[in-house]
Structure 1
Amino acid sequence: MRFRNASVRSKVTALIVSLILLWAFAAWVTLREGVNLLGAATVDSQVVEPSEPLLVELQRERRQTIARIGAGSRGADKALRDQRARTDAARAEFAASIDSTAVSLAAEDSLMERIADVRAELAKLDQGRKSIDSGRAGGAQAAAAPYNNVIDSLYQMYDSVAAFDDKEIAKDGRTLSQIHLSREWLARGDALMAGVFARGGFTPDEHAEFITTAGVFRHTLSTAMSQLPDEDWTAFDRWMKSDPATRVQAMEQRLIQHDPRVGPLPVDAEEWRKATESTLADMQRVTLAAGDRLAERIVPIAVGVVVRLLLAGGLGLVAVIASIVLSITTTRQLLAQLRKLRDAAHELSDERLPRVVERIGHGEVVDVSKEVPDLDFGDNEIGQVGQAFNAVQHTAISVAAEQAELRRSIRDILLSLARRTQGLVHRQLTVLDVMERRETDPEELKELFRLDHLAIRMRRNAENLIVLSGSSPARTWRRSVPMLNVVRGALAEVEDYTRVTILPLGDVVLVGRAVGDVIHLLAELIENAVSFSPPYTAVQVSGQLVANGYVIEIEDRGLGMKPEDLASANERIADPPEFRITGTARLGLYVVSQLARRHDIQVRLKASPYGGTTVVVLLPQDLVEVDTDPHPHEGEASPALPRRAVAVAERAPATHNVRQLKVAADPARPQPLPQPVRDQPRQAPNQQPAPRAVPARTGESEETVEPKQPEFTPGGLPLRVPQANLAPALREEGPSTLDDTEEDDERSPEEIRAMMGSLQSGTRLGRTEAAKLMGEQPGGDS
């Protein structure tokens, strides 16, 4: 089962290996010579060729090192460090090449021993460099010793490579190895002269060493050239007669005849360097060309071995080879087509499809035939799979385009419905406003306020749909609005607003262009804080100016969020994903993120030390201004407080009386409202809000009457008691609490007259003040 699930390449490889093993077992005797030649070719490509660059770099580093020592410098300058880096790179490449399995199989034991010697000498090279840099190496001869040892081990390795079974080829290989060795003697003489030129002259020992080196070079070269085949001899003879080689020979002769104790050197250093570099490079090129010709001569011998193998193996061998060739070519074609098909599938899923969907989402017209060109794999089985894939990708692109168009259409539908709903809600609020103004019955007015509150919440939901569809709500302000009114406007859109306590916010106003969005954003966050905290706890809203703008903190006393949930929520707010119609989870966070991005507002959630969650809303400096005018801005609408002001007044503790809240809610222009009670103490999550004093009516004593401690339902919601917050005189004339189930309670005419008179006077005063703000004359009683 495991082999059945293996890849095609693995199966074909297993088949080829089995055929090769069978062929090798049947024809080993005949193949022995051919295997030896193939092994020589492997050694040449895996051992000899990678060692050539290493040899050249070692010779260059040796020359620079001796020149550095001759100049009397210690350490390594930049040129020497760069050369060492090139040497190390060639050494690493050589080490990686000789570590291959092919070398261990093709090389004989003697060659493996020589390779091990090269490894050992290369390992000593780093220690030799340290001795040279520290000055412990001594003279030039001692400094050149580590390099000479490595190079000598490489030439011994070359001698082992040249041991072929064919005597003629083996002889020519040894000859080329001797010529290559003569090049090393020329390089040693060049390195020696680099130190001499740097110091400015020969020492007697150096002059003697140079004469010896030059003599060895000439002798080994002439001896080896005499044994070369005619074609190779012609190439080397042409090199010997070249201008750089003849100049080197002439300069060598002058240096040999020079007396180191008399006069300056008879050769210019730069002329010597250029001539030797050119000579060494040309000699390397000619030697490698001769090696290539030797390799070409091996080919006919290998062909002869193969012919004998064919004759010995017969048709069985032919069948084996044909099977191998057919398997390899078929596998390559099959894998190439499958790879092309795989790449096309990845390109479709990772690039084309998302790009087309994004373009369609932006409203662009997409040509499917151009975006998804057909793939041509021929008419075989792979070609049929390719044709099926063409159909699949066309269908996928078309479906993706339809889905993107559908999502855009759904957003347009949502926007249209939200706009219509928004218009209806505005009309409903207008009707409710008219009904509230002419209603005098407290109970009916209270119900109208509840409807008003529901309508305002419906408006926020409609605006949520507008934001989700990518548009902006129509509510705008031209002038700045006090921050207190902005927060109160947000409370007007929250269901359980009675649990929210507004702490001092400072004398700050919000610029008009951001008022609507900030109200919406705060309403979403406050609604979230109220919804995910116990009903007996309070939510506190505070604000203050900071260095980067104005910060508003919304703190609840709930169970809080896990650190990973906080991180996820903050990430969704900072970088919201693309809105999809498929899910409705955390739409509030998406709305908040869109509103915050519109005005560069920073919103971040963090754990509260009281056990809940604190939301920090940072408004940038260009959205807030310090309110230097004690009067409201003229001619602009203020965020309307809920017409349910009566319900706000009935909550305990009360911050404002009914008349003040009603006056702030009714006019079209903002009305200055008293600041909330400052220094309000924070309460524990399991405590009820502490009662605050309710001002007495005008004309009564200045004493404050403490309201009764509010009662709560079994579910933890405050139990509303009618007339609980009325002035003491009114509460003394009638019962303090009423039975909600009692429809026809008996009141005296005096009680009814007092109640209606109080309501009428408060309504008249509120309308009079509102009419003044609107530039109208106060009306009569209505």
Structure 2
Amino acid sequence: MRTKVTALLVSLAALWIFAAWVTVRDGLNLAWVAVYNSNVAQPSESLLVELQKERRLTVSRLVSPVLVSSADLSAQRSRTDAAAGEFRRLASSDTLRFAATDELRKRIDRTFRQLDQLRSVRHAVDARQVDRGKAISAYNGPIDSLFQTYYSLATLDDDQLAKDTRTLISLNWARELISREDALLTGVIAAGRFGQAEVAQFTQLVGAERNVMDLAKSDLEEPLPDVYQRLQKSAALSQLHSLEDLVAQQGRPGLRAPVGGEQWQSASSAALNQLHDVVSGAGETMVDRATPVAVGVITRLVLAGVLGLVAVIASIILSITTARALVRQLEKLREAALELANERLPGVVARLAQGEKVDVKAEAPPLEFGPDVIGQVGAAFNTVQETAIRTAVEEAQLRQSIRDILLSLARRTQSLVHRQLTLLDVMERRESDPAELKDLFRIDHLATRMRRNAENLIVLSGASPARAWRRSVPMVDVVRGALAEVEDYTRVTVMPMGETALLGRAVGDVIHLLAELIENAVSFSPPYTMVQVGGQVVASGYAIEIEDRGLGMSAEDLEATNQRIADPPEFNLSSTARLGLYVVSRLAERHGIKVSLKASPYGGTTAVVLLPRDLVIEGGEDLPEEETESGLPRRGTGSRKIALVGAPEAVSAPVQEVVPVPRAPEPPRPLQSVPPPPGDADPDPDRPAPSAGFTPSGLPFRVPQANLAPALAEESRNGDEADDEEDRSPEDIRKIMGSFQSGTRRGRSEAAKLLGDEEDNL
């Protein structure tokens, strides 16, 4: 805006300056009449007279050297050169160059060039290499240039002055024609006869001179009546005209002139001198007339220029004040728009994200911009900002509603999955067929994965999953719990995790986080490759590395993914391609966990999960039970399985081709005896391992307390019955449990028979 107004003002000022200069310069043209007269007219008139004299003497010298001596001719040439030098000096002055027009400067320069050619003419005359006709033509050249200069002086802005100036120039041109008649007839008289074409030339000159003289006198009658009367009554002109008529009538080629030399020279000199006086006097009169006219014109022009300047200044002031007011309003509008875009609208969105209620009227106060066009734009902006904030509120409410719907669906799905897992647990406990038990364990695994998907919805909705633990859990069991929620867990190798435990309050979220990363590693690597999971204590906490042997990711993708995890964007329903990363970022943010991806030296990708030091316990020490916010101890497990708060199921370590073991610390039940996933290390090497033996009916033996968490197993060994069991060998325990199972089956069979007999008796 400022630039445009400045450009407008500069162009307006430049236009005024140009117009003022052109106008004042035209007025100064009249004031420069005196400059033209003193620097061009007067010196050129003297030069013109001297050139005319030198032309006459040159013709006489060429005809008869006796009539004109070389000394006389040289003296005249000196006078001509002096007049030419004075003309050059005055016509080349800076004052005249500044006042003259381009056309006048060009004609003055042409006159200088014609004067320079006189040297060659004079040499030719001295060498008698030219006749009198060519000599006359050579002198006519610079004289014609002088008259062209005179006509350039007549371009004045005052019409009457310009007309009078042209009249005087015409009168002076008539004088030049008389001078040419004089030079021609002087040569004829000196030669004693007319040449072949000289009679016709003389007659033409007389006709031209009479015509120019008559026109000049008619133009002088009104503006210069004194001059007109003087010319009308001039005896010298009358005598000259009489001689001209006589020569024109009686002159013949080859004959003598009908007038004598002295008679002609006397008449022509008198006429020339009179015309010279008339032209000089009239010129001075015109100069005097031009001065007051020029002053009046310049005064009017200056007045108009001053008024124009005042108008320009007023326009500048008005434009500046108006522009400032406009710019001030526009800046206010811009600041309001920037404040809305950068502060108020993000603040409203942030407050809405925190669940606060927002008053649209209070957050979008109307701004006053006046009743003009910008005020109307401001009113439109008020509507825009109110609509923007209202839309943000409605969108936040819509997002909250969607989150509530997701949370409700997730809670319902979670409840159903919990009930399904409970039912599966009951079915597993009473099933004895190995094949059916295997299928039940697979369904158990699918249900566990379904629970993770439901928890994903809970995380996306902004809530927290319900799983929590009252005791710390060994890190190896946390990893195994994550494997229980991965479909292709058999491809995962668990490296030694060390004697480190995880606080119970972070167990559920860490299991979920690791499950998402392990699932991602397994899904994006070839089926014949293995995924390694290992962990170790580092300076800032505990680091878990998940490494796959897949195709890997580009440096740009790794950077974008790490940025997305470190600074998760607002959840958008349209960006469903990488919901797992969003879940991981939210879970990591909740506990201050750092997750980063890097290129693996094997060509795949390595995910590094850095647990902060305040979440890990080194050395396998047990912590006291964690309390809830109400001061009550959290529910926990009594075995190796990890129990949910408010849910009956648990997460356990997976086994090959069999879904995790039952989820609650209930009485032992049959279990297929297969080794844990490849690479798993038993954190308690003293605990008996499962036996590969089978009962006579084909069912595998189950080792008591084989699936308890290390801390819980340690508690069991330290209990009342621990002393008795420490001395039993694994084989003895297997026999005892086999006998217990056989007795249980016999008891159930006999009870069924008794019930059947009683029904028959009834």
Question: Please, what TM-score do these two structures have when normalized by structure 2?
Answer: 0.49
Please tell me whether Structure 1 or Structure 2 has the larger radius of gyration of its CA atoms: 2
